[in-house]
Amino acid sequence: MPFQIDDILASISDGFIAVDNEWRFTYVNAAAERMWRRRADELLGKTIFDALSVEADNPFQASYLASKASGQPVALTAYSKIFDIWLEARGHPHPGGYTIFFRDVTAERAMHRTTLESGRELETARAINQRIFDTSLDLILVVSRTGDFIRVSPSSEIVLGYLPEELVGKNAQPFLYPADLESTRREMRSARRGRHMSKFETRYVHKDGHIVTLAWTGVWSEPEQQHFFIGRDMTERIAAEDRARRSQRLEAIGQLTGGIAHDFNNLLMVVIGNLELLQEFAHADPDAAELVDSAFKAALRGAELTRQLLAFARRQPLDARVIAINERVSATMDLLRRTLGERIQITTDLEPELWPALADQAQLESALVNLAINARDAMKSNGRLAIETANQKLDEDYARENVDAVPGDYVMLAVSDTGSGMPPDVLAHVFEPFFTTKAPGEGTGLGLSMVYGFVRQSQGHIKIYSEVGCGTTVRLYLPRAPEGAPAAADPKPATTPVAKPGERILVVEDNAEVRKVVAVQLGELGYGVTEASNGEAALRLIEQGTSVDLLFTDVIMPGHLTGDELARIARRLRPGLKVLLTSGFAKSSPLNAPRSDDFKNLLTKPYRKIELATKLRAALDGGL
């Protein structure tokens, strides 16, 4: 999520494949598997010529090659001899190959032939058409020139909720969405004037009241004075496209937010580091000490804001451990009661046999507090907050309806309130950073975005339910911890660990100001320091035999070597070399993603001197 586009492609009714420039399959969705009666694992990595016995001179191939040359998308309808069906295909060329959507239009072509066949051929076509009419999942209509239903396929019950006999003999107007009535009449008039009817969409009103969008193809038969229509229910596809657009928007915002927060963390690293050094010199002057302390608190607040931004962007470093969520809820209750006040009642319904979860304990507690504060604000300091936990299995059906969900076992934490609730247009934006319904100065709009990012980065799922006047429920689904996962870490020590005699650190940091601050901090902790501005320079020092006990390197740096790549090479040259990585976020952009999981020690920017000292001591005394 990066956003979960695979889940969307898996749920649509159109076939979708992706091939590289050698026509090897790189992706096959479920609809293509059903249409072709081939499993994806039989196709992936093979060319279409080998996997499907496709001839090189087939009509699809020629059209796609032409589109590749022009760089323009292509659409065509052609008969597939291999599958004995007519396919309507839309191909999109890109530098790495093609992506192709396609669907079976055999039924539509068969209906079209009814206006062209005669005699015995017509009778045969009618028999075929009757079978199609009776079994089609698409809605097939025969309509008079005045809009009365003459024949309606049995699929009307699935698509619109009406049995055919409830529609036959009635005019279509009461069933059409009012805003689409005139456009439908315009298409029908155009067809009767002899023009080929273009594909168009109209909305109908389902028997239960919800709107159904149908994509229509049709013809006008002058001899029979009838319209023939085939309508495909587009509701699922439109919903999938809408989910994809929302995911894309959140992903784009996340990339921008994460990049800004990462750069800002480097600035804060310099500010916080220098202010900590100033604190030690300012104690003799109370006025100066007060100014430094004030600036230091503001810098820490800035660091907290960047952590929230990185949480939304799913780029915050997480320490995922086995945690007992019920225990964490109980441990947070005193803080919640002080935060919410006496006028808000807090109730809990905790599953006694709750599975252990795999998540970052500190981030979970922060998420719970954020949700409680949002609930307090929605209740105007008077109402009831309910916290619930449960074991949940999310199945394939749920995952199809919720694009961000992956089937599996989860530990569910729900926070519900009796507040004002939110309308749908607000719900659509609640996870975006800086979006808030509060008055200016009453909130940053980062609370829910932080929770969203934490859950998604934890490989979990988040769901929000809200209605105006009825309150809000937010459900967090965190992965069930597998056997053997590490338990939550011990709290940090209260004292600052220092260097042992003779220990030397190689500091690799491209930002000169950050490098300077770190070197001073390390010197005060008693370490010897050797500096390098990039991975290549650090590697030369190691190759030259420079004495080093630990490599302390930024993950993302200019040049050919990232920090983790440098660490792997350095470890090969000096087996057993201790390594500590540092970064403004745990994952970089897809183009330069560090594989930091190879090294378990990671220090998040901006960090304080005690955090640096603690991480260094842990790495030197036994870490990797």
Q: Are strands 578-583 and 344-349 parallel, antiparallel or unpaired?
A: unpaired
Residue 70 DSSP label: H
Same topology between domain 5-104 and domain 109-233: yes
d(CA 24, CA 142) in angstroms, rounded, equals 43
Q: Token pair for residue 298?
A: 């503001």
Domain 109-233 in CATH 3.40.50.300: no
Residue 168 and residue 150 in contact, taking contact as beta carbons nearer than 8 Å: yes
Residue (of 191, 275, 265, 195) closest to 229 by Cα position: 191
- CATH code matching the domain that covers 504-620, chosen among 3.40.50.2300, 2.130.10.10, 3.30.1280.10, 3.40.630.30: 3.40.50.2300
- Phi/psi for 150 (5° steps) reads -100, -45
Round to whole Å and give the CA distance between 232 and 153.
12
This prediction has a pTM of 0.41
Nearest to 83 by CA among 145, 13, 33: 33
Give the pLDDT confidence score for residue 47 in this predicted structure.
86
Tell me which residue has tokens 């996870």. 431
| Superfamily (CATH) of domain 320-479 | Histidine kinase-like ATPase, C-terminal domain (3.30.565.10)
| Residues of the chain where predicted confidence (pLDDT) is lower than 50 | 1-4, 116-120, 122, 311-315, 440-446, 490-491, 586-596
pLDDT at 479: 92
- The pLDDT, as a whole number, for residue 596 is 47
Domain ranges for the chain: 5-104, 109-233, 320-479, 504-620
pLDDT computed for residue 251 by the predictor: 55
5-104 falls under which CATH superfamily? PAS domain (3.30.450.20)
d(CA 309, CA 264): 11
Q: What's the burial of 507, exposed, middle or buried (CB within 10 Å: 0-12/13-18/19+)?
A: buried
- Report the pLDDT value the prediction gives residue 56, as an integer from 0 to 100: 63
Question: What backbone torsions phi and psi does residue 193 show, to the nearest 5 degrees?
Answer: -85, 5
Query: Letter for the amino acid at 71?
Result: G
pLDDT at 196: 58
Long-range contacts of 589-596 (CB under 8 A, 24+ apart): 589/255, 589/259, 590/2, 592/556, 592/562, 594/555, 594/556, 594/562, 594/563, 594/564, 595/564, 596/555, 596/564
Please name every residue paired with 463 in a beta bridge, in sequence order, or none if there are none.
Answer: 475
HEC sequence for 129-188: HHHHHHHCCCEEEEEECCCEEEEECCCHHHHHCCCHHHHCCCECHHHECHHHHHHHHHHH
In this structure, what token pair is assigned to residue 249? 């928007």
The strand pairing partners of 388, in sequence order, are 349, 414
Question: For residue 198, what pLDDT is reported?
Answer: 58
Q: What is the pLDDT of residue 590?
A: 33
- Residue 469's pLDDT is 82
